[in-house]
């Protein structure tokens, strides 16, 4: 077990205990403000091109995926009222601490895509699947306003596939080549700061 995996386990375990009261509050708000389950589970592509179930607090109406997998605009009409704020401060991602403990995610690593978009990867881009996907990465910070960028695009999905996704993969490949404890903490710190600011 490498040092980063050890850090993942410690931080995810301690974080889950500390944040448990917040988990309960969010779960209650999700449940009483919209119909549907508390958690949203989605199949993503992980290390070694293997599928796994990713957990989030539900921020959209039930069956929202049937209208598209990309979220477009600062206030997609599929997003619930509480979901808007959970997304703004990245609180919807907290259940992924369970994914970290289960061993199919890291705190820091390439954000996992759905199979639909992984199918567009080139052979070289598939290299990002050689490490555990993460809750946060350089791309998550750089593209915090991704929804707004997509809203301005004439064809949001095409823009995502041809412009945003390649840039994300480029950043992820750079992280893989420089996967150190120092960079791990640097990305975690930057994520916390941007999440607190909400921008």
**Rounded-to-integer distance, Cα 198 and Cα 183, Å:** 22
Helix-strand-coil percent breakdown of the chain, rounded to 5? 60, 10, 30
- Give the separation between CA 182 and CA 10, rounded to whole angstroms: 17
The CA distance from 89 to 170, in Å, is 25
pTM of the model: 0.89
Mean pLDDT, 10 residues at a time, over the chain (199 residues)? 92 97 97 95 97 97 72 73 91 97 97 96 96 95 86 91 96 92 94 79
The total domain count for the chain is 1
Which helix (H) or strand (E) covers residue 170, if one does? helix 165-177
Long-range contacts of 138-143 (CB under 8 A, 24+ apart): 138/171, 138/172, 138/174, 138/175, 138/187, 139/110, 139/111, 139/167, 139/168, 139/171, 139/172, 140/111, 140/191, 141/187, 141/190, 141/191, 141/194, 142/167, 142/171, 143/167, 143/168
Q: What is the pLDDT of residue 118?
A: 97
**What pLDDT was estimated at residue 146?**
87
Q: What is the pLDDT of residue 195?
A: 81
Quick count: other Cβ atoms within 10 Å of Cβ 28? 12
Say how far apart CA 167 and CA 104 lie, in whole Å: 24
Report how far residue 137's alpha carbon sits from residue 159's, in angstroms, rounded to the nearest whole number.
21
Quote the CA–CA distance of 71 and 83 in Å, as a whole number.
12
Decide: 54 and 42 in contact? Cβ < 8 Å: yes
Domain holding 184, by residue range, is 3-197
């Amino acid at each position: 077990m490498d040092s980063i995996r050890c850090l993942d386990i410690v931080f995810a375990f301690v974080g889950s205990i500390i944040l448990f009261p917040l988990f309960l509050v969010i779960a209650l708000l999700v449940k009483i403000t919209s119909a549907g389950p508390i958690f949203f589970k989605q199949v993503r592509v992980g290390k070694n091109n293997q599928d796994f179930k990713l957990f989030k607090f539900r921020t959209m109406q039930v069956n929202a995926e049937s209208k598209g997998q990309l979220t477009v605009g600062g206030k997609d009409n599929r997003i619930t009222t509480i979901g808007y704020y959970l997304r703004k401060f990245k609180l919807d991602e907290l259940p992924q601490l369970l994914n970290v403990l289960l061993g199919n995610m890291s705190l820091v690593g390439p954000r996992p895509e759905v199979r639909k978009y992984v199918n567009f990867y080139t052979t070289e881009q598939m290299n990002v699947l050689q490490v555990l996907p993460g809750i946060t990465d350089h791309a998550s910070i750089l593209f915090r306003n991704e929804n707004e960028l997509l809203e301005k695009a004439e064809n949001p999905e095409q823009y995502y596939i041809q412009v945003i996704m390649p840039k994300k993969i480029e950043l992820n490949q750079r992280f893989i080549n420089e996967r150190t404890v120092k960079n791990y903490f640097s990305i975690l710190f930057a994520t916390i700061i941007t999440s607190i600011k909400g921008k």
